[in-house]
Structure 1
Amino acid sequence: MKKYLILFFVFGITTIGFAQNVQLLERANKLFAKKAYVEAASMYEKLGTGRQVLQNLGDSYYFNSKMGAAAKAYKKLFEKYKDSIPEEIYFRYAQTLMGLNDYEQADKFMSTYRGSQVNTARFRVETEEKSEYIHEIKQLKKSQSSDFGISYYGDKVVFASTRNSSSPNYEWNNQPYLDLFEATVDKEGELKNIHPFSDKINTRTHESNATFTKDGKTMYFSRTNNKRVKIGEEKIANVKIFKAELKDSTWTNVKELPFSSNLYSTQHPALSSDGTKLYFSSDMPGGLGNFDIYYVDITNGTFGAPVNMGPRINSKQRDQFPFITGDTLYFASDGHQGLGGLDVFMTILSDSQIETSNVGEPINSGLDDFGYVIDKINHGYFSSNRSGTDNLYSFIRKPKYNNLVKGQVIDKTTKEIVQGATVILFNDKDEKITEMQVDENGNFEFKTKPNSSYKIEALKDLYIPTTEEFTTDVNGVVEKELEIELLSYDDAEEIVVERDGFNYIALENLYFDFNKWDILPQAGKTLNILIDLMNKYPRMEVQLGAHTDSRGPDNYNMFLSENRAKSAMEYLIANGISKDRLQSRGFGESQPLVNCGSNCSELEHSINRRVEFLILK
């Protein structure tokens, strides 16, 4: 009997313990769903090593950048449940390992996630080689825990911070809610006279990431919704962008922007230099990933529809914190290949051929680096949690190479400058580095690296492209300035003639049977000459324009000429000329060479009945 009492007692304790664990798990899951990650993690630590427990435990630490603790949880998760782990956890574990500078292990998990080989060590070397700048950085002395998102405000700066200790704590990280603060800046870039921004802007919820018009009278900023909205199975307080106006030294007319929503977040606003575009980050439906960069046009105070900036900038993961200066966009992403966490990237918006590039170390690290801003004298700020919490850093950006290769583009025959020419710089692997248009004096210049080989290609419509190869010395310069000569088609080829300011290829006329547009053998011989010329000059583009005489109805003549032009173009395409280099146009009887009206002779009719070959480029 005593034995049974002991077993009953043990069973009772076990049952009570199981029930307590179930209750604790339910509480932890509710906190996790509310994004109260600090408190959730403390409960998951007591709940053993179930798959969901380990995954949520790792995520709770990951979302608060506690990478050491996150790595321990994820490691156990992969050791026990590798075959049933969601794809996204591979990404988070890889990012966690990068944050701990374990790039070798991180690459294995990131390679699995991406489905292609990732080699961060090689990427770091390549990024350093491609970088044109050196950044000298330092953490600001007065930057406290959770300072980030700095922006320029006239001769001041404005940033987000949790330094308001009277604010209630945010469940995500148990830190006070964010407010905006402003400060002056000394000659060393350090913050002085820090104080809260207007109480018309700061509330008991989050405010961050302000941006201002040049006159300082309008601002845009992020503010978290003051209530949670149920989206699917979660209740979420999304972030919105607000606008405010400065009137009589007071911020007023604080209004939510029309493209913000309770159902998704819009945040991190940044104005273009001319104030006509507002860039921001959003997880609105229809994007490419977690958060994407968008912009809206601003016209007379009204806002256009959000435009997604596409896959050159946006990825499957977070693309956030845009900053625009001139035509250069800086933003933070953890979806493009980087060094871990959010990295700062840049791209030239005016040139779609230039790829988005990582700005490299020391701006970027294994953890989150974001909020990059820069002024006209190459001084700037960014935010990073590399020290364990979000802090503000200043930097001075200096050109890595101050050396330039200069040159001029001239006409080979006349020796006159060629205005409007384009010059493209290639490296020794024939990879395009950059391009520019010559100035009004035909001049160009490119930054170069020491002991490197380059090729420059000069282009201009109606000229034959010309390339020039050169090698820089130990200082990154060539011995003499380059002079690139372009030869026009009409100077290079006897069959190219100039008429009325246009260049035509003078070939024997194409003859067609009456009322037909089939290419006859004699016409084929003429077109073969054009094929040889276009093969000789691979960048040449030509318009085939067919004309009829004035006999017959206008509509029919237009129909006939269009089909004859198309027939000639199809012959060229069939013989290897790319369709992209050709245009066909029918002119009917609208452009006679001999304007003889209704009294044309047979000779005059035959002159007007023709196919012309106009050089477009």
Structure 2
Amino acid sequence: MRKGDRYFDNYAYANAVKHYSKAYDKMNNEKAERSLAISYMKMSSPEISGSYFSKVVNRSSPAAIDYLNYAKVLMETGKYEEAIPWIEKYLAFNENDLLAQLLLASCKSVDERYIDTTLFELTPVPTDDFSNSFGTVTYKNGTVFTADKEVFSGNRKSQWTGKSYLNLYYMEKGENGNWLPPSALKGDINGSFHDGPATFSKDGKTVYFTRSNYYKNKRITNDENICNLKIFKASLVDGKWKNLEEYPFNSDDYSVGHPTLSEDGKTLYFVSDMPGGIGGTDLYKSELKNGKWSAPENLGETINTRGNEMFPYIHCDGSLYFSSDSHNSMGGLDVFITYFTGEEWATPENLNYPLNSSKDDFSFSLNEDNITGFVSSSRTQADKIYAFTKKPPTFNLYGFTRKKGTQIPVSNVTIKITEATSGNVIEMQSDEEGKFSLQLEPESEYLLLCTKEGCFTRTDNISTLGKKYSEDFYADFEVEEIIIDKPIVLENIYYDFDKWDIRPDAAKELDHLVKLLQDNPQIEIELSSHTDSRGADNYNLVLSDRRANSAVSYLISKGISKKRVSSKGYGETQLVNQCSNKTPCSEEEHQANRRTEFKVTKINK
């Protein structure tokens, strides 16, 4: 246990687990169990970590943080439902913990991350010679990435992971399209400890990269025995990276790393845990003014959380991509996108599955074509590089033509679909089942015109403008024959007692009639109003006439020609049931007589 503690306190988790495992096999005590759980969590082995945490939280005296850590590794293994009660147990002790609240919200909304699984197509990049590989950026005719390897006896290794220290490598494709063997970057860029990830100037002659804090093969640590990260700059001289310079805001007391450079080379974005931040690690930017980098500026609480924001990438269009283990993450790190509106950063948006997973997904980079790029992920138990292709969302229209008021299909209905911008028209017929379908284009607007000889024409509008996710649209057309002087009841047209003003709820129903008249410009109608038998006959006649006039005035106010509509109040002269004067009837029976109708009086050519 003492040896394990010594390695653990020095962040040498790979060595710590060897000794803790021996102690646990002999002692089976809670301290060894908990130390193993944390060590494996630090080494990004959530399955093993979870197996130990499951025992820790069920012992007699777990710490509240154990509940939260157990929930985190459960999320990383996709067990969101199981994670929820453990986060809630933690919040019972720390109800104001914003990070835990974010994680709880993420677990409860994880289904939203699968809203459209077709938008990215991922392909593993073969880096079999490496244990972990990530941080891929386009450079010259290929890519530069960061990776470590298995360590053999006598070679230097990272005590945290048990692997080699990270180095930067270049790789490009051959004539057959296959990736060629990678080679380490030459010059002074790959040193004795960690190097990478990196970002390059547009001309490819300057690199900014992350490096462990060391001098002449000796690590430099702070008071907590942490070897922090720094950002260095190097220049390409005769094919080798030379003239190393430190970023002026490096520190022995905190880390700065994961640089990404704007296209014009004047803004550097990076991650740091410097004092005054919002969470564990935050995103910052620094601007090059008169040859000097300005003091780091925190990107603010819209982007940075109480958790960890890392691996920023600024695209040439100004979009900022980064990874976070908070916001609405699926577990571990997820990739998010935001952009600067001119006044503030937009709310980050999760790029969802399959780009993101329950494991760590990070080091996103996008090529200038805005379609292809790279992302790194630990979804296969180690950090691996994936090439991706962005796919446009797909939109499908499914239509159904049916007899009005029924589900009886009507075939051979003509549907004309016009794309607004181009004016292109697609015409089709509903089949024997009354169905029709069409694949729609992104960023388009469509007008649907449904016609059948002797029937009312119906229209609908469908838009895919601004829609980011695939979606199916459904058009339901009722087919109704036009019969001269056949009354058609307008449902839900109500008036206040002794009033004839058009109420807001009645206006909504009259809007349907407005649309019918707009879709069928060849028809003229009479709009009529009816009352029940209660009240004086003459009074009911006057009231119904005023109501009919009021409805017609509403249609005219919506652009319908007054030549096409007439009004008539019938009072109680056309009852639809037996409820005449002095006949006892229920309220429902009287309601049937209080109605508004229209009928087609003429069909013009």
TM-score interval for Structure 1 and Structure 2 normalised by the shorter chain: 0.5 to 0.7
Could you tell me which residue of structure 1 aligns to residue 133 of structure 2?
147
Could you tell me which residue of structure 1 aligns to residue 451 of structure 2?
none
- Alpha-carbon distance in 1 for matches of 2:242, 2:290: 19
Q: Which amino acid aligns with 2:367?
A: D
Could you tell me which residue of structure 1 aligns to residue 306 of structure 2?
316
Could you tell me which residue of structure 2 aligns to residue 128 of structure 1?
114
State whether residues 302 and 345 of structure 2, in contact with CA within 8 Å, keep that contact through their aligned partners in structure 1.
Answer: no
Could you tell me which residue of structure 2 aligns to residue 545 of structure 1?
none
Asked whether 1:350 is paired with 2:303, we answer no
Could you tell me which residue of structure 2 aligns to residue 368 of structure 1?
360
State whether residues 134 and 397 of structure 1, in contact with CA within 8 Å, keep that contact through their aligned partners in structure 2.
Answer: yes
Kindly state the Cα deviation for residue 268 of structure 1 after the two structures are TM-superposed: 0.5
Q: How does 1:96-495 map to 2 (within 5 A)?
A: 96-111=73-88, 112-113=90-91, 114-115=100-101, 118=104, 123-129=109-115, 134-143=119-128, 144-163=130-149, 168-185=156-173, 191-226=179-214, 227-229=218-220, 231-232=222-223, 234-325=224-315, 326-350=317-341, 352=344, 354-377=346-369, 378-401=371-394, 446-447=466-467, 450=471
Kindly state the Cα deviation for residue 262 of structure 1 after the two structures are TM-superposed: 0.6
Kindly state the Cα deviation for residue 354 of structure 1 after the two structures are TM-superposed: 3.5
**Inter-CA distance 215–150: structure 2 relative to 1 (3 Å threshold):** same
Kindly state the Cα deviation for residue 173 of structure 1 after the two structures are TM-superposed: 1.3
Question: What is the aligned-residue identity percentage?
Answer: 32
Q: Which amino acid aligns with 2:182?
A: I
**Inter-CA distance 388–132: structure 2 relative to 1 (3 Å threshold):** closer
TM-score, length basis structure 1: 0.59
Q: How many residues align?
A: 393
Kindly state the Cα deviation for residue 369 of structure 1 after the two structures are TM-superposed: 0.9
**Inter-CA distance 385–115: structure 2 relative to 1 (3 Å threshold):** closer
Return 5+ residue gaps in structure 1 as ranges: 1-24, 408-443, 454-479, 481-617
- Alpha-carbon distance in 2 for matches of 1:40, 1:337: 33
Aligned to 2:265, what secondary structure does the other structure show?
A: coil
State whether residues 108 and 118 of structure 1, in contact with CA within 8 Å, keep that contact through their aligned partners in structure 2.
Answer: no
State whether residues 124 and 360 of structure 1, in contact with CA within 8 Å, keep that contact through their aligned partners in structure 2.
Answer: no
- Alpha-carbon distance in 2 for matches of 1:67, 1:276: 39
TM-score, length basis structure 2: 0.60
Could you tell me which residue of structure 1 aligns to residue 95 of structure 2?
none
Kindly state the Cα deviation for residue 366 of structure 1 after the two structures are TM-superposed: 1.4
Kindly state the Cα deviation for residue 27 of structure 1 after the two structures are TM-superposed: 1.6
Counterpart of 2:3 (choices 27, 39, 55) is 27
State whether residues 107 and 118 of structure 1, in contact with CA within 8 Å, keep that contact through their aligned partners in structure 2.
Answer: yes
Aligned to 2:51, what secondary structure does the other structure show?
A: helix
What is the root-mean-square deviation of aligned Cα atoms in Å?
3.1
**Inter-CA distance 334–406: structure 2 relative to 1 (3 Å threshold):** farther
Aligned to 1:297, what secondary structure does the other structure show?
A: strand
Kindly state the Cα deviation for residue 75 of structure 1 after the two structures are TM-superposed: 1.4
Could you tell me which residue of structure 1 aligns to residue 552 of structure 2?
none
Q: Which amino acid aligns with 2:120?
A: H
Once the two structures are superposed, residues 210-268 of structure 1 have per-residue CA deviations (whole angstroms, 9 ceiling, x without a partner) of: 10000011100000012455545x21111100001113333221011111111111110
Kindly state the Cα deviation for residue 121 of structure 1 after the two structures are TM-superposed: 6.4
Return 5+ residue gaps in structure 2 as ranges: 92-99, 397-417, 422-463, 475-518, 520-605
State whether residues 327 and 350 of structure 1, in contact with CA within 8 Å, keep that contact through their aligned partners in structure 2.
Answer: no
Q: Which amino acid aligns with 2:56?
A: L
Kindly state the Cα deviation for residue 190 of structure 1 after the two structures are TM-superposed: 5.0
**Inter-CA distance 190–207: structure 2 relative to 1 (3 Å threshold):** farther
Once the two structures are superposed, residues 343-375 of structure 1 have per-residue CA deviations (whole angstroms, 9 ceiling, x without a partner) of: 111112226473211111111111111101111
**Inter-CA distance 243–387: structure 2 relative to 1 (3 Å threshold):** same
Kindly state the Cα deviation for residue 120 of structure 1 after the two structures are TM-superposed: 5.0
**Larger Cα-atom Rg:** 2
State whether residues 405 and 445 of structure 1, in contact with CA within 8 Å, keep that contact through their aligned partners in structure 2.
Answer: no
- Alpha-carbon distance in 2 for matches of 1:353, 1:278: 16
- Alpha-carbon distance in 1 for matches of 2:195, 2:103: 40
Kindly state the Cα deviation for residue 271 of structure 1 after the two structures are TM-superposed: 0.6
Kindly state the Cα deviation for residue 445 of structure 1 after the two structures are TM-superposed: 5.9
